Structure 1
């Protein structure tokens, strides 16, 4: 489909140019003719454009040999197409020094027969250029039609790329705006196979920074395609890069692996059309994804807000989005904090949901954490569904069998702990918490499990527990005590149970409160508690005797033990005492 530019050689081959002789500059016959100019005064040279063929009778320089020699040099430097000099009027023959200059600069010097008028020659040249431009336009329209037909037929990205490779006869890659592979098609005659030179994994970056550095990111900075050279198998492969852009938005890049045939003007037209069609395809896919996302978001928003009350209403959309009405679910929440204000001003679970949909300071960071969470959850828990809302990543974990609910609780803790460790490892600067709600028997009850997970996070941060994961069931006692609206009554209970012990620790720099907490955490096993505290068993006995003395209690009386246990929980709710709690205390909540 190649249409060549019109050159001096093409001009001399025309029937209408019979009799015109090339007398000098034979090495420049491939110079491209873009137009014709006629020289009628010496100043004409200053107005000439690149690619113009200059025609003259020689009248203005017939008596000036120096000007004649200088003219050839200046026309060559201006990259003009050639010089046509009419003979048998002011020159019987073309001067030898002009021929020598033409040969020196490989600049075509033509001898025009007397019978040809300069206007006739100009008409011949322009007619030939027009014919080529017409053919180019027809081919361009044909290319446009081929891509339009593919687009109207609903052709996908692969079909568009296949059409392009047929037109330009070179391998082609299409990448997104971050240089990640979207599609590619190899050419059977490619001497440097793409798979041998590049890492061709969809969704993964193809080229290194050395190749892409300096390539404009803004559409306004592009004027034409950019050439890059890729080193493959100790060979340099030329590549042409064309942006895929529309309405000022960058959707990606077309990379032509120019290893089979050199691109011509028509090939660039094809690449331009392909770029436009691919941009439209990317816009269409983006619109589809945004619509899917909006429908999905609306569904989960309504579900978690408790607006869906019928199983039939949730069944169809639920299965589309990966939720099934015949399975129990556990809700797990990863809550991310953008600043210290989030940590100090946590609202109650019932009010938290109204903040959904508002992105915080770093959308890319939240997206990265969301992708990590989704990857881990999907791998570790079959059928897990995750969504991102505001500063929360919410994961729905299906329980395949109701009889496995207890096991599922333990597995959900293991998943949450793994998520915590992996996020901490990859996003060490991020402050976040992980909470788990109790299982719900129906997806219609997911709101409860979700709010429980959020409430578990709130409670864990309120009492400053060091645990990586907070489960709602860990805080049953705390919820009960926290429901007491009269703070003075709660303080009175605290003072009547463990208040004196807290005061004694503060005045004497002792660790009796922590000792009592470990005693409860170890289910009254004195030896185990001593081991946890890294103290001798006799020291543990001494401390317990001291506690009995200060509080005037019997540590073998069940009622008094219950009061002390509740008193320690009240202490944490009131933010009294030291901020540490035994790791195993959550099992006794």
Structure 2
């Protein structure tokens, strides 16, 4: 423990001392004692001092008020005044100021020499410093032993909890795993139900960084001031050092494992494996079961490359962007691990992560479909909340075996590109649900596709006036309302006669008869091509 005002006043030699104001600061730490008698002596205050004075140079209310204000500003701990010598009582304005800032003002009996104060206080400080040094050495030696033994995160956190006597948790951002050492219902509920950023706003925390990359958060269920105490600060810093050494070791293992894992998955989705036995042997080294029907899922970060380019060209650095990407990958792995216990092949690309899953059967029943979609929706919400990025997810159709995964990968990749063009991203693109977009993928952006779009939408696209945009919006809204003019008028919040006028003008400009199914089909296809072209 540190030497506090309260602890000092409890000494036998301090009987008869009275606290006049600043009772809220009795637990402030005293680092040394000093005298102040000259009018400008406060200039040499460095913080943490127990100031003693006869108040000879501060006999007026203005002088004493100015002194206390300077001591508070310079973070002195308290002031002891012999009030019976030069001032009979401390003015109320000075007491109010001390109460406001929790700055203790102590009345020292006139009969007590300052030497009788200094000696016991300094002895107590030196004794506590010796205890702190001994404690610091014990903490350092303990965490050094953990690092030498390559201790895991659980053991490091357990030791930190024992030294600080504080409920705590550690959030590993790379694995999305929580290490909790707390019985507090509030902390447990917060970690279980709240987004990470809300938890960090509620509880004091320490970031664990390695080479500018954010690796995790130490979260404490304690008052922030307690954590600043040296008896807590020392083990927290030592624990962070042990964690950094752990992460450095894990980083080396991860780099080696990632290289072989990524190469293996890329070989699978590009038909670069010649012999079946090679695939089984390599899968066995990762404890993956690749037997039976499989399918590919791609989680692709929207606008990642453009954000990265802007950060580089703007001289902002890429650490924040890279941290977000790592966090997105960790969240994706964590959520999709719920579907297969974490034992699945995955590969990390430049702005996407690719998974290969067992699909249950060739028709995608059982294991996937509804459960997969719910999991992906929850994952996308967490990613956007925690990182600010959105992702587009491509889901390929099931294939008979892992050697047919290139086709499922192609479907997932084309599906997410198609829906990103037409919607802008932040969607799930399941190839089995793509419908006509599968056919349009091959012509979108080509001369044939542009010609078709120009044939059926040209007059509306070439009209750059506000009226042109209004007519195009009217067409899109009407088609989305199943060609029902009354429903379209309600959606656009315009009078039905206004919409009928626009509709006649649209039909005249485009030369279509909406009663003919062929014209309707052509317009619908042209609108889909337009949306794909516009987003691209």
Change (3 A) 1:179 1:5: farther
**Alignment match of 2:356 (pick from 395, 402, 405):** 395
Is the Cα contact below 8 Å between 1:173 and 1:181 reproduced in 2? no
In the alignment, the residues of structure 1 paired with residue 331 and residue 44 of structure 2 have an alpha-carbon distance, to the nearest angstrom, of 63
Comparing 161-170 with 103-112, greater Cα deviation is found at: 103-112
- Does residue 108 (structure 1) correspond to residue 102 (structure 2)? The answer is no
Q: Name the residue aligned to 2:85.
A: 94
- Does residue 35 (structure 1) correspond to residue 35 (structure 2)? The answer is no
In the alignment, the residues of structure 1 paired with residue 344 and residue 6 of structure 2 have an alpha-carbon distance, to the nearest angstrom, of 70
**Alignment match of 1:198 (pick from 188, 198, 223):** 188
Deviation at 1:144, TM superposition (A): 1.9
In the alignment, the residues of structure 1 paired with residue 331 and residue 208 of structure 2 have an alpha-carbon distance, to the nearest angstrom, of 29
RMSD: 5.8
In the alignment, the residues of structure 1 paired with residue 226 and residue 328 of structure 2 have an alpha-carbon distance, to the nearest angstrom, of 45
Change (3 A) 1:107 1:72: farther
After superposition, give the CA deviation of every residue in 1:77-120 in whole Å (9 maximum; x if it has no partner): 434422466xxxxx9x6246147879896622435769x687x9
- Does residue 252 (structure 1) correspond to residue 216 (structure 2)? The answer is yes
Change (3 A) 1:75 1:23: farther
After superposition, give the CA deviation of every residue in 1:380-427 in whole Å (9 maximum; x if it has no partner): xx987555657684636499xxxxxxxx54x35897876997799788
Q: 1:212-227 to 2 correspondence within 5 Å?
A: 212-213=200-201
Q: Name the residue aligned to 2:171.
A: 175
Comparing 296-305 with 451-460, greater Cα deviation is found at: 451-460
Deviation at 1:136, TM superposition (A): 1.4
- Does residue 166 (structure 1) correspond to residue 156 (structure 2)? The answer is no
Is the Cα contact below 8 Å between 2:33 and 2:51 reproduced in 1? yes
Q: Name the residue aligned to 1:276.
A: 241
Give the TM-score normalised by structure 2.
0.52
Change (3 A) 1:331 1:108: closer
Is the Cα contact below 8 Å between 1:434 and 1:469 reproduced in 2? yes
Change (3 A) 1:398 1:248: closer
Deviation at 1:266, TM superposition (A): 0.6
After superposition, give the CA deviation of every residue in 1:166-194 in whole Å (9 maximum; x if it has no partner): 222232222245996611123xxxxxx42
Q: Name the residue aligned to 1:547.
A: none
Is the Cα contact below 8 Å between 2:205 and 2:217 reproduced in 1? yes
After superposition, give the CA deviation of every residue in 1:344-396 in whole Å (9 maximum; x if it has no partner): xxxxxxxxxxxxxxx99x968985996599569749xx987555657684636
- Does residue 142 (structure 1) correspond to residue 106 (structure 2)? The answer is no
Comparing 424-433 with 166-175, greater Cα deviation is found at: 424-433
Is the Cα contact below 8 Å between 2:394 and 2:412 reproduced in 1? no
Q: Name the residue aligned to 1:185.
A: 181
Q: Which sections of structure 1, spanning at least 5 residues, go unmatched?
A: 86-90, 187-192, 214-227, 229-238, 340-358, 400-407, 479-505, 507-575, 581-589
Secondary structure in structure 2 of the residue aligned to 1:42: coil
**Alignment match of 1:10 (pick from 8, 11, 34):** 8
Give the TM-score normalised by structure 1.
0.49
Q: Name the residue aligned to 1:469.
A: 432
Change (3 A) 1:13 1:432: closer
Larger Rg belongs to: 1
Is the Cα contact below 8 Å between 1:72 and 1:107 reproduced in 2? no
In the alignment, the residues of structure 2 paired with residue 420 and residue 8 of structure 1 have an alpha-carbon distance, to the nearest angstrom, of 60
Q: Name the residue aligned to 2:396.
A: 434
Deviation at 1:284, TM superposition (A): 3.8
Q: Name the residue aligned to 2:317.
A: none
- Does residue 67 (structure 1) correspond to residue 64 (structure 2)? The answer is no
- Does residue 153 (structure 1) correspond to residue 149 (structure 2)? The answer is yes
Q: Name the residue aligned to 1:530.
A: none
**Alignment match of 2:286 (pick from 316, 321, 337):** 321
Secondary structure in structure 2 of the residue aligned to 1:198: helix
Deviation at 1:139, TM superposition (A): 1.0
Q: Which sections of structure 2, spanning at least 5 residues, go unmatched?
A: 99-103, 303-320, 381-389, 419-428, 440-454, 456-521, 527-536
After superposition, give the CA deviation of every residue in 1:121-150 in whole Å (9 maximum; x if it has no partner): 767755543442232122122112222223
After superposition, give the CA deviation of every residue in 1:410-468 in whole Å (9 maximum; x if it has no partner): x358978769977997889958573565x46xx7xx2xx24455677899999xxx994
* Residue correspondences, number: 386
Deviation at 1:57, TM superposition (A): 6.9
